[in-house]
Structure 1
Amino acid sequence: MSYTWPEVIFFLGVLILVTFLISIFTVGIFESRRSKRQADAAEELRELARRYEELARSTAETQERIAADLAELRNRTASIEQILRTVE
């Protein structure tokens, strides 16, 4: 079967168009996956930052509680020392 030049050019054009469309589709799929991975990574970073803030808040509250407990212990120690001085 013999093809004329216009038919060959038409088929080559169709082949190039199909190849172009397939490559655009493939690139679109890869970009979509990459965007999803980036969004997932950003979400993981937000979650990590939230957990860090929560831990920092908890640590600050614990430090404040320990400081208050230590101040109370110092007051008690001072009271005990004063009682011991008066007993001697």
Structure 2
Amino acid sequence: MYVHAAQAAESATWPGTILVLGVLALGVVLIVAVMATLHEFRKTRILAGQEEAMRQLVQRYEQLAANSLDAQQRVAADLAELRSRTNTIEQILRTVE
């Protein structure tokens, strides 16, 4: 058993060691690249979700603003009608006196 270990140690040369270390370094670089790409993809997906949420919020705000404007216009029309009726009632009361 020791003889085989000695032979294996003698057969391991610098070029082989450099090749193994190079392959390991390449593997580490590829793993880091894949992890960085996945991280960027996740960030992009989260950002897209936030933008969509913002668009929906703006759309709801615009709808609320339009509804509020319609309500204000209706109230203004009702108020104008009430003023007109009040003026008419005042004129009738003045003529009765």
- Report the TM-score when normalising by structure 2: 0.89
Q: How much does 1:13 deviate?
A: 0.5
Q: How many residues align?
A: 88
Q: CA RMSD in A?
A: 0.6
- Please state whether the residue corresponding to 1:53 is helix, strand or coil: helix
Tell whether 2:75 aligns with 1:47: no
Q: How much does 1:71 deviate?
A: 0.2
Instruction: Tell me the amino acid that sits aligned with residue 67 of structure 1.
Output: A
- Please state whether the residue corresponding to 1:17 is helix, strand or coil: helix
Q: Deviations over 1:42-79 (max 9, x none)?
A: 00110010000000000000000000000000000000
Instruction: Tell me the amino acid that sits aligned with residue 50 of structure 1.
Output: Q
How far apart, CA to CA, are the structure 2 residues paired with 1:22 and 1:30? 12
Q: 2:30 aligns with which of 12, 21, 24?
A: 21
Percent of pairs with identical residues: 49
- Report the TM-score when normalising by structure 1: 0.98
- Structure with larger Rg: 2
Q: 1:70 aligns with which of 69, 72, 79?
A: 79
Question: Which ranges of 4 or more aligned residues in structure 1 deviate by more than 6 Å?
Answer: none
* 1:87 alignment counterpart: 96
How far apart, CA to CA, are the structure 2 residues paired with 1:7 and 1:77? 104
How far apart, CA to CA, are the structure 2 residues paired with 1:82 and 1:14? 101
